[in-house]
Amino acid sequence: MVTTTSETVDRRANSGKTGARPGSRARGRHWLKPAAGAVVALVFLAPYLVMFIGSFKRHAEILRIPPTYLPTEWVPSNYATMWSTPETPLPYNLVSTLVISVCGTLLVLAVATPAAYYTAKHRFPGRGVFLLLVLATQMLQPTVLAPGLFRQFLAIGIDNTWLAMILVNAAFNLSFAVWIMHSFFSGIPKEIDEAAMVDGAGKLQTLRRVTLPLVWPGIVTAIIFTFVACWNEFAASLVILTTAENQPLSVAITKFVGQYDSAWHYVFGVSIVGIVPVVILFALVEKRLVAGLTAGAVK
Amino acid sequence: MSEQTRKAPVPTRRSARPAYRELATAMPWLLPVLILILTVVLFPAAYMVWTSSRDVSQAGVDRGPAGLDNYHALLDFPALGRVLGNTAIWVFGVVLVTLLISLALAQFLNQAFPGRRLVRLAVIVPWAASVVMTSTVFYYALDPFYGIFNHFLVDLGILDAGFGFTRRPVPAFVVSMVVAVFVSLPFTTYTILAGLQMVPHDVIEAARMDGAGSGHIYRRIILPILRPAIAVAVLINIINVFNSLPILRTMTGSIPGYDADTTTTLIFKYIQQDRQVDLASALSVVNFLIVLAVIGIYLATLRPMRDE
Q: Which of B120, B127, B140, B287 to mutate to test the interface with A (most CBs of A within 10 A)?
A: B140
- CATH at B268: 1.10.3720.10
Alpha helices, DSSP H, located in chain B:
2-7, 16-37, 43-51, 69-76, 80-109, 116-128, 131-141, 148-156, 169-196, 201-209, 214-217, 223-242, 246-252, 263-272, 277-302
* Average of per-residue pLDDT across A218-235: 88
* Average of per-residue pLDDT across A48-70: 89
Return the pLDDT at B123: 92
**Average pLDDT of the residues of chain A:** 82
Question: Nearest by CB to A48, which of B125, B206, B295?
Answer: B125
Residues 248-287 of A with CB under 8 A from B: 249-251, 253-254, 256-258, 262, 264, 267-268, 271, 274-275, 278-279, 281-283, 286
Residue B208 domain flag: yes
Show the CA angle centred on residue A271, arms to residues B133 and A219, nearest 5°.
85
B175-224 pLDDT, tens digit each = 999 999 999 999 899 888 888 888 888 888 888 888 888 888 888 888 88
Q: How confident is the model at residue B303 (pLDDT cuts 50, 70, 90)?
A: confident
Q: Does A26 touch chain B (CB under 8 A)?
A: no
User: pTM score, two decimals?
Assistant: 0.85
Q: How confident is the model at residue A92 (pLDDT cuts 50, 70, 90)?
A: very high
Nearest chain B residue to A166 by CA distance is: B40
Supply the angle between the helices A286-298 and B116-128 in degrees, to the nearest 10. 60
pLDDT score of A245 more than 50:
yes
Residue B120 domain flag: yes
List the domain boundaries for chain A: 83-298
Name the CATH superfamily housing domain A83-298: MetI-like (1.10.3720.10)
The ipTM assigned to this model is: 0.86
B117-153 pLDDT, tens digit each = 899 999 999 988 999 999 999 999 998 888 889 889 9
Return the pLDDT at B82: 93
pLDDT score of A101 more than 80:
yes
* Average of per-residue pLDDT across A124-140: 85
pLDDT score of B9 more than 70:
no
Give the integer Cα–Cα distance in Å for A247 and A245.
6
Return the pLDDT at B157: 84
Instruction: Look at chain B and report how many structural domains it folds into.
Output: 1
Stretch among A87-101, A232-246, B213-227 having the lowest mean pLDDT = B213-227
Q: Which residue has the higher pLDDT, A291 or B173?
A: B173
3-state secondary structure A73-103: CCCCCHHHHHHHCCCCCHHHHHHHHHHHHHH
B36-78 pLDDT, tens digit each = 999 999 999 999 999 899 888 887 788 888 888 889 988 888 8
Return the pLDDT at A290: 61
Q: Which residues pair with B56 in a beta bridge?
A: B62
Give the integer Cα–Cα distance in Å for B173 and B94.
11
Return the pLDDT at A275: 92
Q: Which residues pair with B54 in a beta bridge?
A: B65
CB-CB neighbours of B13 under 10 Å: 8
Contact of A221 with A289, CB cutoff 8 Å: yes
Residue B31 domain flag: no
pLDDT score of A22 more than 80:
no
Domain of residue B169, residue span: 84-302
